[in-house]
Amino acid sequence: MSSKTSSIQILPPLVAERIAAGEVIERPASVVKELVENSLDAGADQIAVILENGGRNLIEVLDNGEGISKKDLPLCLLRHATSKLSRLEDLETLQTLGFRGEALASIQAVAQVRVLSRNQGSEQAYEIEGGITRKQTSEVKPITFGHFLGSPHGTQIRVANLFSEIPARLKFLKSSRSELAAIKDLLEKFALTHPRVQFRLVHDDQTLFQMKAQKPQERIQTLLGAQTKTDLLSESFKEDSLEIDFYWVRGLSLPHARKIYQSVNGRIVRDRLLQQALLQPFRQRLLPGQFPALACFVKIAPDQIDVNVHPSKTEIRFLNSQAIFQKLQRTVESLLQKQLRSSPSHPVSFHSPAPSAAPSFSLESAHAFRESFSGTSSAFPSLPYPPAFEETKLELETASPLGQFRGILFNTYLVFEMEDHIKLYDQHAAHERIRYEALQKRHLENETPARQQLLMPQTLGFDPDQKHDILKSLPLLEKLGFDAELFGEKALVFRSVPEGWGTDDLRTRLQNLLERALSLGENSSSLKMDEAVFEQLASEACHSSVRSGDRLTEFEALQLCRDLLNCKHPWNCPHGRPTVIELSHDQIDQWFQRKTKLWKNPSLES
């Protein structure tokens, strides 16, 4: 092996430039990030991003900001040239997104750049070119026109052929599609922190999205994907040097974490600590692998953080991270609690005192009532929900907090009419949620569930190689409420199942359960197991729930909805599908053109 260390050399400027550029400019999205930050720093309220081939061939950013003067134009491409900071102390009071004076210099080290700008108050626009294939410090050329997105002043920066001279970099770029997706993601983040700014994204001559200036609340609603204003819930926290504004979309759960936004002092960041504080309160409310849609805006005294940790400034350092963590988490918890106690669009009183004359409909009494009929104390009745009540002659409360029951559509959707809207509950999804939480509660409280003896024990055969794994899975089965023991070398006998598990399709379900338990293998004591257990619970809840198509009585329908609203997280089934949707009276009137549309939700097209 030849380890050859040559003598120290000062790198030629071009090489040094390119190495430095690599820190900031990794891919087309990094270019867009730097250019859009500059436009925002320049006070633009209209920004257009135009791309060709996912940004590889061309990235152009146009803004109507204050512009760059003729004198500054040649400077803006130089390293450490910035108009935003001149002394080290300025770092502490910084209001702008940029401050290093490196972005344009870095970009021109790895691409061709043309800057065209007309400064506020200037009669003329000027242009300068720089970049890899051109000689540095080119001259400033006057341009006779100069209008920017309808404004007399502004800036247009074109970045062409990114990395074309650096094959190593080019090789690592993802497909044009995923680069484009990253850019779209990025613009949505900017859009969130800058609601009054209009954004447009054009790719290969096609407008991918366009966002009009909006009020902050409307922008958040659009970006988080809340269907209606009332689905967007918020909570704030305020003290001397810290403000938190937290927004969450009730009833939305997603299989990815892309709708989790964190901003600190107007800058979108990606901070693990923040992320943990935000997600912790959802842990037992959503299935593993499901994420909420939320946005958290933190305002903190600048001397309490350091933003100068990472070249792209997406990471920050808090002086007192523990305190921030707790306050964030409490804010989230408090919102989740609040929405359970009362919520304007779901005017459900969760602890309504029952009128003394009519039979009460509180949950406890309904259970007690059910027990008096069935003679069991099953908290998990099997189909239908609850055990048939066809014959009950109960008078239903007229002013139910659920609204007026109006019937069942397609044997699946329970319809309730409220003062200004109707609600549709999906009976299967609702029952899944109820059962999931009950099973989960039982699991978390470490209660071993009541068991139900099987009249005929069920024997499942297995491959003798599996014996070792089967033995290992027995404690888990036991914990879930199954009594199972080995019978010889290749069979397992189930003598009882958890109460309420039911005996429909018993064999198949036991087989699935066993496979599931076996697949956990070595992990069965770790946190992973916990998650797997919840998943198991969810699928269990799903199996034994009221199915769509099962005919419910009015009483059962009411009871189901009440139980749902007593859940911790009533708005989704454990798999993330909505349990209830709302349709406003206004909306229906609009269909029949009785009213004109008052407020249009500007949407993202893609």
Binding site for ligand ADP (CB under 6 A): 34, 38-39, 42, 63, 65-68, 76, 81-84, 98-105, 155
Rounded CA separation 219/195 (Å)? 6
What are the structure tokens assigned to 224, written together? 């988080």
Strands 154-160 and 112-118: antiparallel
Give the sign of the dihedral formed by CA 220, CA 223, CA 227, CA 232. negative
Q: How far is the CB of 115 from Mg ion (least distance, A)?
A: 12
User: Considering the complex, what minimum distance in angstroms separates the CB of residue 305 from ligand ADP?
Assistant: 18
Q: Closest approach of Cβ 109 to Mg ion, in Å?
A: 15
Closer to Mg ion by Cβ: residue 103 or 567: 103
Say which entry of Mg ion, ligand ADP, none residue 547 contacts (CB below 5 to 8 A, set by partner kind).
none
Residue 578 binds Mg ion, judged by CB under 5 A:
no
Residue 428 CB partners (closer than 8 Å, separation 6+): 412, 545, 546, 547, 548, 573
| CA nearest to 441, candidates 603, 340, 569 | 569
Cβ neighbours, 10 Å, residue 149 = 17
CB 22 within 8 A of CB 31: no
Which x/- pattern over 99-118 shows residues binding Mg ion (rule: CB under 5 A)?
----x---------------
Query: How many chain residues bind Mg ion (CB under 5 A)?
Result: 3
List C-alpha distances in Å: 482 to 26, 588, 602.
54, 50, 53
By beta-carbon proximity to Mg ion, the closer residue of 117 and 412 is: 117
What is the bridge-based pairing of β-strands 267-268 and 291-300? unpaired
Distance CA 36, CA 189 (A): 11
| Nearer CB in complex with Mg ion: 61/438 | 61
Taking CB within 5 to 8 Å according to partner kind, which of ligand ADP, Mg ion, none is near residue 83? Answer: ligand ADP
What x/- string results for residues 26 through 65 when contact with Mg ion is judged by CB under 5 A? Answer: ------------x---------------------------
The residue among 42 and 260 lying less far from ligand ADP, judged by its C-beta, is 42
Residue number, 28 or 576, with CB nearest to Mg ion? 28
Give the one entry of ligand ADP, Mg ion, none that residue 293 binds, where binding means its C-beta sits below a cut-off of 5 to 8 angstroms depending on kind.
Answer: none
Cβ proximity to ligand ADP: between 104 and 277 the closer is 104
Q: Nearest residue to ligand ADP, using CB?
A: 98
Residue 96 or residue 230: which is nearer to Mg ion going by CB?
96
Distance CA 126, CA 456 (A): 89
98 belongs to the binding site for Mg ion (CB under 5 A) = yes
| Partner from ligand ADP, Mg ion, none contacting 39, C-beta within 5 to 8 A by type | ligand ADP
CB of 63 to ligand ADP, least distance (A): 5
In terms of C-beta density within 10 A (0-12 exposed, 13-18 middle, 19 or more buried), how is residue 596 classed? exposed
Which of Mg ion, ligand ADP, none does residue 81 bind to, with CB < 5 to 8 Å depending on kind?
ligand ADP
Residue 532 C-beta: closest distance to Mg ion, Å: 46
Which helix (DSSP H) or strand (DSSP E) does residue 268 occupy? Answer: strand 267-268
- Smallest CA-to-CA distance from 158 within 188, 128, 119, 199 is with 128
CB of 97 to ligand ADP, least distance (A): 7
How many CB atoms are closer than 10 A to CB 309? Answer: 11
Judged by CB, which is closer to ligand ADP: 17, or 34?
Answer: 34
Shortest separation between residue 80's beta carbon and ligand ADP, angstroms: 9
Cβ closest to ligand ADP, residue 88 vs residue 168: 88
Q: Which does 484 bind (CB under 5 to 8 A by kind): Mg ion, ligand ADP, none?
A: none
Single out the segment in contact with Mg ion by CB under 5 A; choices: 94-102, 226-234, 377-385, 547-555. 94-102
User: Of 92 and 447, which CB lies nearer to ligand ADP in the complex structure?
Assistant: 92
Give the type of residue at 245.
D
CB of 40 to ligand ADP, least distance (A): 9
Of 44-52, 95-103, 269-277, 561-569, the window that binds Mg ion (rule: CB under 5 A) is 95-103
Helices and strands per DSSP (H, E), number in the chain: 15, 22
Strand extents, DSSP E, 488-605:
491-498, 580-584
DSSP state of 11: P
Name the residue nearer to Mg ion (CB basis): 41 or 235. Answer: 41
d(CA 387, CA 262): 47
Peptide bond into 384 cis (omega under 30): yes
- Report the partner that residue 84 touches, choosing among ligand ADP, Mg ion, none (CB closer than 5 to 8 A by kind): ligand ADP
For residues 149, 152, 154, 160, the Cα torsion angle rounded to the nearest 10 degrees is 60
Residue 464 DSSP symbol:
G
Nearest distance in Å: CB 78, ligand ADP: 8
How far is Cα 225 from Cα 103, in angstroms, rounded to an integer? 32
CB distance 59 to 108 below 8 Å: no
Least Cβ distance, residue 139 to ligand ADP (angstroms): 18
Q: How far is the CB of 85 from Mg ion (least distance, A)?
A: 11
Contact 453, 495 (CB under 8 A): yes
What residues make contact with Mg ion under the rule CB under 5 A?
A: 38, 98, 103
